[in-house]
């Protein structure tokens, strides 16, 4: 059985983070492994608090998993601090971990900051060069390349700028675009692949970014090429959003139980 590792924070509400990633790995019939970076007090209304784990203990978790079980692919989520980014990058490099998907989680959907400002540069310089795919949303793309990203042309320019930071591929996610249609843009340094789809009218999208990146990692673990893994993940997340049920009093989670 193929193995996929998630290095991310915990969501006590179960819709995002480690919990979403492991559910997604199971949906793809991939064996899920996990390294916790932070524990959050979180629900559909927002993040009420977070406790960040020590970088050396995060590194120890990675060494424990990879020295014994190994991984065919991995993804990162909430990394929180510059020291954690450095620790994760160090272990990923030491184990020559392949098929790394970096979801540059910076701010929660409810506005809670999840990555220190001084950690952004560490992510650019230490982690992106190790990544097969980096998956920023519009807000994260704006922070990473320093220009507003709010239309298809801006997404392409952001993808070019982030690609220059070292990853093999960049997927700029356009789920927050205004208007009735959304775009996702994949760039490999030479060619753009654009997915266009109608916007799904729902508030239940909590964890969609985590879920998409986990689905890409699962596809890579199973031997898919990046473009194929992204295309499958795109179909999966749209189905998961369409099948979402209302849980909690705020933005509900996507439905990870849909068929791939």
What would you report as the CA-atom Rg of the chain, rounded to the nearest whole angstrom? 16
pLDDT of 67 above 80: yes
Neighbouring residues of 139: CB distance < 8 A, sequence distance ≥ 6: 106, 107, 176
Cβ–Cβ under 8 Å, residues 90 and 24: no
pLDDT in tens, 69-89: 999 999 999 999 999 999 999
- Report the pLDDT averaged over residues 228-248: 95
pLDDT in tens, 127-166: 999 999 999 999 999 999 999 888 899 999 999 999 999 9
For position 115, what pLDDT does the model report?
A: 86
Confidence of residue 109 (pLDDT cuts 50, 70, 90): low
* CA 48 to chain centroid: 21
**% of the chain at pLDDT higher than 90:** 85
Show the domains of the chain with their CATH numbers.
Answer: 3-242 (3.40.1190.20)
pLDDT of 99 above 90: yes
Confidence of residue 113 (pLDDT cuts 50, 70, 90): confident
The whole-angstrom separation of Cα 163 and Cα 48 is 34
For position 169, what pLDDT does the model report?
A: 98
For position 150, what pLDDT does the model report?
A: 85
The whole-angstrom separation of Cα 78 and Cα 57 is 15
pLDDT of 112 above 80: no
Nearest to 159 by CA among 191, 198, 129: 191
pLDDT in tens, 176-214: 777 788 899 999 999 999 999 999 999 899 999 999 999
- Residue ranges of E strands in 174-224: 181-187, 192-198
- Report the pLDDT averaged over residues 104-133: 88
Cβ–Cβ under 8 Å, residues 141 and 102: no
């Amino acid at each position: 059985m193929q193995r996929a590792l998630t290095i991310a924070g915990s969501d006590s509400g179960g819709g995002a983070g480690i919990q979403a990633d492991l559910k997604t790995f199971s949906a793809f019939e991939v064996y899920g492994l996990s390294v916790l970076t932070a524990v959050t007090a979180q629900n559909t209304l927002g993040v009420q608090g977070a406790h960040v784990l020590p970088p050396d203990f995060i590194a120890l978790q990675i060494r424990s998993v990879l020295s014994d079980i190994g991984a065919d692919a991995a993804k990162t989520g909430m990394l929180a601090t510059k020291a954690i980014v450095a620790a994760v990058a160090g272990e990923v490099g030491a184990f020559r971990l392949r098929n790394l998907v970096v979801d540059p989680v910076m701010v929660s959907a409810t506005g809670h900051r999840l990555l220190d400002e001084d950690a952004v540069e560490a992510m650019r310089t230490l982690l992106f060069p190790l990544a097969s795919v980096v998956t920023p949303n519009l807000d994260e793309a704006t922070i990473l390349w320093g220009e507003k990203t709010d239309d298809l042309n801006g997404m392409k320019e952001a993808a070019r700028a982030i690609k220059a930071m070292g990853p093999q591929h960049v997927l700029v996610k356009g789920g927050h675009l205004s208007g009735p249609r959304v775009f996702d843009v994949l760039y490999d340094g030479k060619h753009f692949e654009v997915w266009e789809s109608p916007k799904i009218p729902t508030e239940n999208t909590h964890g969609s970014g985590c879920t998409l990146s986990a689905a890409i990692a699962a596809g890579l673990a199973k031997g898919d090429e990046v473009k194929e893994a992204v295309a499958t993940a795109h179909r999966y997340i749209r189905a998961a959003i369409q099948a979402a049920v209302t849980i909690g009093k705020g933005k509900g989670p996507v439905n990870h139980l849909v068929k791939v």
